Structure 1
Amino acid sequence: MRACLFDLDGVLTSTASVHAAAWKEAFDEFLHEHDASAAPFDIDRDYPAYVDGKPRRDGVRDFLASRGIELPEGADDDAPDAHTVSGIGNRKQGLLLEVVKRDGVQPYPGAVRFLEAARDAGLRRAVVSSSENCQAFVEAAGIEDLLEVRVDGVSVREQGLHGKPAPDTFLAAAQELGVPAAQAAVFEDALAGVEAGRAGHFGFVVGVDRAHQADALKEHGASVVVNDIGDLL
């Protein structure tokens, strides 16, 4: 392997749970307004199945589709209380930033050790995230100098890439690093992410089991599953 391509939330930083909580609050508010009898968003079931690892609007669409709900797309600047795909996404974004502003962003110690070891071994390193907050989170976590390339939700929007589970973002990162997919390893905690690694025919796909779903990670394409990437050292 010549390069490591890391997802951010749940792999390098402990922000996946913050994303999940923000999604739950945003969806539960919408569901109650849409149908007071609707079952709430289930973090353990709905988050990994429909939202985790995907671009924001894709997550909104996929979860709503699971409930038989279809909404207009809306516009980027829709109000957080708008019953549109963009509105719900903006509601989640506002909730997320409130929590991050209050609590900050913490990298996993094992991830920092792995990034440092990869750098020292001469391996190329990229962060590949569906989040449009990726750059701010990387900076807040203090790991920006350990990563050479960033492909994120902003890249998806600006370059017209397909988000995970399509392999586009990982392939774009490998290309920017100048490394063939077969010589790069993907590190992911989301089912959509390991699917993307498999679809892109990467040399190795490491599943990081933060949500007690080791079997599902393997079924979706992980070559190996660990609890933390520091375990690989």
Structure 2
Amino acid sequence: MPPAKTSHGPADVTAATQKWRMLRSLSCGNKFENAARAQGATLVAGVDEVGRGALFGCVVAAAVILPENTRIRGLRDSKQLLRKDRERLARLVEEKAIAFAIEEVDVETIDRINIYQASRLAMTGAVARLMPQPDHLLIDAMRLDLPCAQTSIIYGDSLSISIAAASVLAKVYRDQRMRELHEVYPQYGLASHKGYSTPEHLAALEKYGPTPLHRRSFRPVAQFRLPWDAPSESISTDTATVPAEGGAC
């Protein structure tokens, strides 16, 4: 008689778990930085953003220029790191970097131009603040309207040390902003979910309604009337779907 089948095969693993395992298997190194230098670049900057899928607060981008062949053990996509490791690695990045910069784009701008364009605006602003200016950009699956040479890398924050460094700086910065804003709006649980669409956050939205710092153009927020809205005001949600992922904030 054949052995009983177990329920631990690939078909029983969720898509999210499969993606997480795949990302964990990727190696974060200097391959793309070295390729850019082989083409003549001398100052290669990694660029990434965080907060794109959140319902609350700003979107934040960072840009980082690291010295050639930098190695920082354990550095990888910020979403795969524990808070204590992210904060330790952020300090190392800041110590080793030739230059780094952080830029945030506020909720009002996100609602006015949409989250995709706001993310690009934050990235462009972070690059503009770098001194010295880079001559090649490595960007996580995006291109910017800048004259600088660029390489767009899918899963870049898991493959490029410079993009991973930017990811860590941006997340540490934004998470700290969310903890600060938790003191202003404690009933929403921002310190734990950082403004993302968790059951706790959605329940708080239903109970208390949105704050001025919730993204009104995102459908889970727009379904609730804001207490200061005029009766005739309506919020368009034609392009307000929360992305598939995860000024003042």
Q: TM-score range by the shorter chain?
A: under 0.3
Per the normalisation by structure 1, the TM-score is 0.27
Per the normalisation by structure 2, the TM-score is 0.26
